[in-house]
Structure 1
Amino acid sequence: MPQTKSHIKNKKVILRNRNSNKKYKIAIKQSIKEYLLSIKSIINVNNEEGLKLCQNNLSIVYKKIDKAVKKNVLHKNTAARKKSRLARLLK
């Protein structure tokens, strides 16, 4: 338990930032899950509409990952690794 006023304030800041970071990470995980489901559906039915849906979902995931990097939630190398792995799945 924090003893000084500065530690108490720091604890509040840490909790606030953790909640903010968690929102970004959850949004990324949800969009990745949606992208993976669209990839799974395109494997079963090979058509152009499914491919466009996958590319659209991939761009949404990229957008969310880039935003997280901009807000210092993810490291830029971690983001690059995630993006490259997701792009490799589409190939």
Structure 2
Amino acid sequence: MANNKSAKKRILISKRNNLQNRFYKSSVKTLTKKFLNDLEVFKSYEPTTEKKEELNLHLEKTLASIYSLIDKGLKKNVYHKNTAARKKAKLAALLKNACGLV
């Protein structure tokens, strides 16, 4: 256990940062899984259906929200800049391969 005031404060700050980091990382993972599931559904539709266009817009919105969370996490030093760039590039490549976008 901490013996002085500054050590106690550092423990509290560490707990606070841990919660914040966990929020960003788990949110990105959850949205990524949702995005990948939607991408599989998108691939299964015939190219001429109206539902495919609607799902395409949904995919782009989901991707934008994932990008937003990754960028906010990067700003708060949750992610290293290369890790954030790698995650974003991977998602963009998946979308591009699935439907010729981005």
Q: Structure 2-normalised TM-score? A: 0.81
Please name the residue that 1:36 is paired with: 36
Separation (CA, whole Å) in 2 of partners of 1:42 and 1:58: 14
Q: CA-to-partner distance for each residue in 1:63-89, whole Å, 9 max, x for gaps?
A: 111111111111111100000001111
Residue in 1 that maps onto 2:82:
77
SS at match of 1:8: helix
Task: Give percent identity, aligned residues only.
Answer: 41
CA distance in 2, matches of 1:39, 1:21: 27
The aligned residue for residue 25 of structure 2 is: 25
**Take 1:27 and 1:66, find their aligned partners in 2: how far apart are those partners?**
13
Task: Answer yes or no: is 1:55 the counterpart of 2:60.
Answer: yes
Deviation at 1:40, TM superposition (A): 1.0
**Matches of 1:10 and 1:70 in 2, distance apart?**
21
| Aligned length, in residue pairs | 91
- The equivalent residue for 2:45 is 45
Aligned-pair CA distance for 1:2: 2.3
The residue number in structure 1 matching 2:4 is: 4
Query: TM-score when scaled to structure 1?
Result: 0.89
Superposition deviation, residue 41 in structure 1: 0.7
Letter in 2 for 1:72: N
Show structure 1 runs of 5+ residues with no match.
none
